[in-house]
Structure 1
Amino acid sequence: MIDTKFTRWLFGHGRPRRRTPERFRPRGTSSKVSRLADRYDAEVDAALQRLWPKARIYHDREFTRDRADFLLVIRGRGVMVETKVKSDPGVFRGSTLPPLLDRLQRDGRRLVVVLNQGDPTPARELVAEMLGDKGCVVVWSGPHHDADLHGAVEALLRQMVRHQ
């Protein structure tokens, strides 16, 4: 049997030690929201594959605030896709978007923010302020909203041809 007081003194001097490094800890989201986000990402991924069967879809597996969740490449042109999940149907202000918008503003990339529910008006204003016509926010909660998602992405793709 190991004397825990001795090992605490030897390795931690009696202080409680963190077992998980800061960068691996959950970021303050509840597990319910995380499960919703994972499921929503899978649904959006399926919608993108359904709407653009010949497109290449790249997933960012690492959680960062300054990179989008998906890169959708259609006919050689790319559009970033960021998914956002709200657990309530309230207003979506886009408070988590600025690091991503800053990066995309510098890179000149196009962005579609796909929101599961809620009023996206403040987020639309934020995206328009930072990206202008290179970004948009769409509410998508299932196949009945496919036309909205398709229209938003295709509008950004058409715009890329005009601007080049």
Structure 2
Amino acid sequence: MIDTTLYRWLRPLLGQRGFASRVPERLRPRGTSSRVSRLAARYDADVDAAIQRLWPKARVYHDREFAQDRADFLLVVRGRGVMVETKVKSDPGLFRGSTLPPLLDRLQRDGRRLVVLLNQGDPTPARELVAAKLGDKARIVVWSGPEHDAELRAAVEELIRIECRHP
């Protein structure tokens, strides 16, 4: 019979089995913890490909760590930066934007522009939230593939035309 206390003591030396279940969700690497996280990782890759396709000369910076107050991408087009946040819903219902306030607060202080890309759903409640915090410096676009590239391009180009960086 194995002494469980000895096993718990040796477990860090033998390997990290079960490690992911003990680590809080906010500290786990992206794309490994659930079905939605895997969908989010795939969606981020599709968004990255779309950005490269629509703005081949633009610089794109990726935030590989999960943080609620930082956007997933920084897109720099013609010297102007636009933050891009991706949101994945597993159902086509309403998107209320309940996870956006930390990011919106930070961007409101920094005076940055933001495009929120949603894979599906109705973003009307979230649009109201974003408009209240960032006004005309933010857009929410439902983007699920190349067929929605025109909406993505229009949203980013509108934000690039905004002259003032700070309120």
Could you say whether these structures have the same fold, taking a TM-score greater than 0.5 normalized by the shorter chain as the test? yes
- 1:22-81: CA deviation from partner (whole Å, max 9, x where unpaired): 464589x96110111000000000000000000000000110000000000001110000
Q: Does 1:97 align with 2:100?
A: yes
Matched residues in 2 for 1:10 and 1:86: separation? 40
1:117 to 120, 125, 130: 120
**SS of structure 2 residue aligned to 1:38:** helix
| Identity %, equivalent residues | 74
1:75 to 70, 75, 78: 78
**SS of structure 2 residue aligned to 1:62:** coil
1:24-39 pair list within 5 angstroms: 24-25=27-28, 31-39=34-42
Matched residues in 2 for 1:9 and 1:56: separation? 47
RMSD: 2.8
**SS of structure 1 residue aligned to 2:81:** strand
Q: Does 1:155 align with 2:123?
A: no
Q: Does 1:133 align with 2:136?
A: yes
Q: Does 1:41 align with 2:44?
A: yes
Q: Does 1:108 align with 2:107?
A: no
Matched residues in 2 for 1:161 and 1:105: separation? 13
**SS of structure 2 residue aligned to 1:83:** strand
Matched residues in 2 for 1:10 and 1:58: separation? 41
Matched residues in 2 for 1:73 and 1:99: separation? 22
Amino acid at match of 1:7: L
Amino acid at match of 2:72: D
- 1:95-134: CA deviation from partner (whole Å, max 9, x where unpaired): 0000000000000000000000100000100000000011
Q: 1:55 to 1:7 in 2, by over 3 A?
A: same
With structure 1 as the length reference, what TM-score do the two structures score? 0.84
With structure 2 as the length reference, what TM-score do the two structures score? 0.83
Q: 1:4 to 1:150 in 2, by over 3 A?
A: same
**Runs of 4+ more than 6 Å apart:** 8-11, 161-164
Q: Structure 1: any 5+ residue segments left out of the alignment? A: 12-17
Q: Does 1:53 align with 2:56?
A: yes
Amino acid at match of 2:3: T
